[in-house]
Amino acid sequence: MEKIVKQVVGIDVAQDELVVCIGRMYAAVTIELYSHKAFPNTLKGFNALVEWSAKLSDPDIAIRYVMEATGVYHESLAYFLSERGDNLSIILPNKISNYSRTLDVKTVTDKTASEAITRFGLERTLDNWEPPKGIYKTLRQLTRERDQVVEIRTVAKNQLHAEESEAKPNKTSLARTKKHIAFLDKQEKEIKEELAQLIKENAEVKRIVIILCSLPGIGLLTAVTILGETNGFDLIRNKRQLASYAGFDVKEKQSGTSVKGKPRISKRGNKYLRKAMHMPALTAIRHDERFKAIFARIVSKNGIKMKAAVAVQRKLLEMTYTLYKKQEKYDNAYLTKNEIVLEGNMQELNIKN
C-alpha cells in the first residue's frame, strides 16, 4: 500500500453547518479526497467531527484541520480544536477563492468549497493558528462594539433631523430620539474609557500604540482597531499579506483582448480594517506632504479621487506594519533626509570626476 505523507480535513464553515471533506496525500504526491460529511456548528457537532476524522484517518499521521476565516462563525470551532492541541490552519477567504479558480470546478457548492480547502491544505505548507492574546481579543470586541454604537447613533441622528424638519413634529418622539442619542453617547464614552484603561495597564500595547499613532491620521481608536483585528500583527508576515487581509489587494478581470475589466480592490477581507483606515487617510492627505503627493500622483493619472484615497489607505495600513516591525516612530522628514544624502553623493561623484 502506498505511503500516506499528509492528511487534511477541509471545513467550509457556515452559521449553522460545517461541510467537511477529508483527504490525504501519498508519497508519490498524488491526492485523494475520499469522504464528505456535514456537521452542526455546535459543540456536539465539533465532537462528532473529531471522532469521524479520527475514524477515517491513519492514526500514525497527524491530521491538519483547515478552514476559512468566515466572520465569527469559525471561531468556536477554532478555539475547540486549538484547546485540544490539534493542528489547525485558518486561511483568508481570498486565498481560497483565488486557488479555487485554478481548479476545474464548474459548480460551486458547500461540498466543492470544502474540497478546495482540503486540496489547498494538502498542497501548501501552512502555519498553525494561535488564539488571539487576551488583550487583543478584548480590543477587537470593544472597537467593534463602538463601531456598532456609532452606526446606530448615526441612524438616530438622521431620524432626529428628519423629524425636526417636519411641519408639525411629535414632541414626545423627538424627546425619545434625543434620549436614545444621549444614551449612545454615554455608551461610546464608556467604551473609550475602557480602551484607554486597557492600554494604560499593558506596557507592550501602550508602546505599540504610541508608535502607530506617530503616523499622520492614525489616532488611538485606529491604532487599537488595527491591533485588535490583526491580533497584534501576530500572524502577519509582510505588508502584502496585511493588505490582502484587509481586502486592499487588487483583482483584475481579463480574458484575451475582448474582456478587460477595471482593476478593483477585492474587498474580500477584514471590513473593520478597511473602515478604520478611511478617515486617517483623508487626514494624512490633507496634512502630510508624502501622502498628499501619493494622492495627487494617482489622481493625475486616472482622475478618480476615490481610487487615490483607497491607495493612501492601503499605504497607511502597510506603514503601520513597517513601523511595528522596526519598532520606530514615523519620521516625517525621512524623504527629505534621503534626498539630502542623495544630493551629497551626487556632488561627491562630480568632484571625483
pLDDT: which is higher, 290 or 70: 290
Taking 50 as the threshold, does the pLDDT of residue 346 lie above it? no
Taking 80 as the threshold, does the pLDDT of residue 250 lie above it? no
Amino acid making up residue 263 = P
Q: Indicate the pLDDT class of residue 329, thresholds 50, 70 and 90.
A: very high
- pLDDT tens string 1-16: 689 999 999 999 999 9
| Residue 1: predicted pLDDT | 66
CA distances from 72 to 15, 26, 77, 130, 332 (A): 9, 34, 10, 16, 38
Q: Kind of pairing, strands 87-91 and 63-68?
A: parallel
CB 29 within 8 A of CB 86: no
Q: What percentage of the chain reaches a pLDDT higher than 70? A: 90
Q: Indicate the pLDDT class of residue 46, thresholds 50, 70 and 90.
A: very high
Q: Is 73 helix (H, G, I), strand (E, B) or coil?
A: coil
DSSP for 228-247, please give it. Answer: HHHTTTTT--SHHHHHHHHT
Q: Which cell numbers hold the place of 261?
A: 475589466
Beta bridge partners of 25: 6, 31
| Residue 41: predicted pLDDT | 96
Residue owning grid cell 502630510: 288
Taking 80 as the threshold, does the pLDDT of residue 345 lie above it? no
Beta bridge partners of 20: 11, 37
| Residue 352: predicted pLDDT | 42
The sign of the torsion formed by the CA atoms of 287, 329, 242, 192 equals negative
Q: Kind of pairing, strands 17-26 and 4-13?
A: antiparallel
| Residue 264: predicted pLDDT | 72
Estimate the share of the chain in helix, then strand, then coil, as percent rounded to the nearest 5.
60, 15, 25
If you ran DSSP here, which 8-state letter would residue 124 be given? S
Q: Which cell numbers hold the place of 292?
A: 498628499
| Residue 24: predicted pLDDT | 95
CB 217 within 8 A of CB 282: yes
Q: Indicate the pLDDT class of residue 334, thresholds 50, 70 and 90.
A: low
**How many CB atoms neighbour CB 103 within 10 A?**
12
Q: Which cell numbers hold the place of 81?
A: 480544536
Average pLDDT over residues 314-318: 94
| Residue 340: predicted pLDDT | 41
Q: Indicate the pLDDT class of residue 181, thresholds 50, 70 and 90.
A: very high
- pLDDT tens string 283-309: 999 999 889 999 999 999 888 899 899
Q: Is 248 helix (H, G, I), strand (E, B) or coil?
A: coil
Q: Indicate the pLDDT class of residue 347, thresholds 50, 70 and 90.
A: very low
Taking 50 as the threshold, does the pLDDT of residue 149 lie above it? yes
Q: Indicate the pLDDT class of residue 237, thresholds 50, 70 and 90.
A: confident
Closest by Cα among 73, 55, 82 to 19: 73
CB 284 within 8 A of CB 291: yes
Average pLDDT over residues 303-322: 93
Q: Indicate the pLDDT class of residue 251, thresholds 50, 70 and 90.
A: low
Question: What span, in angstroms and rounded, lies between the C-alpha atoms of 193 and 218?
Answer: 18
Residues with Cβ within 8 Å of residue 62, at least 6 apart in sequence: 7, 87
Q: Indicate the pLDDT class of residue 136, thresholds 50, 70 and 90.
A: very high
Question: What span, in angstroms and rounded, lies between the C-alpha atoms of 153 and 179?
Answer: 11
| Residue 19: predicted pLDDT | 95
- Helix and strand numbers (H, E) in the chain are 14, 9
Question: What span, in angstroms and rounded, lies between the C-alpha atoms of 99 and 101?
Answer: 5
pLDDT: which is higher, 141 or 245: 141
Residues with Cβ within 8 Å of residue 221, at least 6 apart in sequence: 143, 146, 192, 195, 276
| Residue 253: predicted pLDDT | 54
Question: What span, in angstroms and rounded, lies between the C-alpha atoms of 234 and 253?
Answer: 32
Q: What is the mean pLDDT of the chain?
A: 87
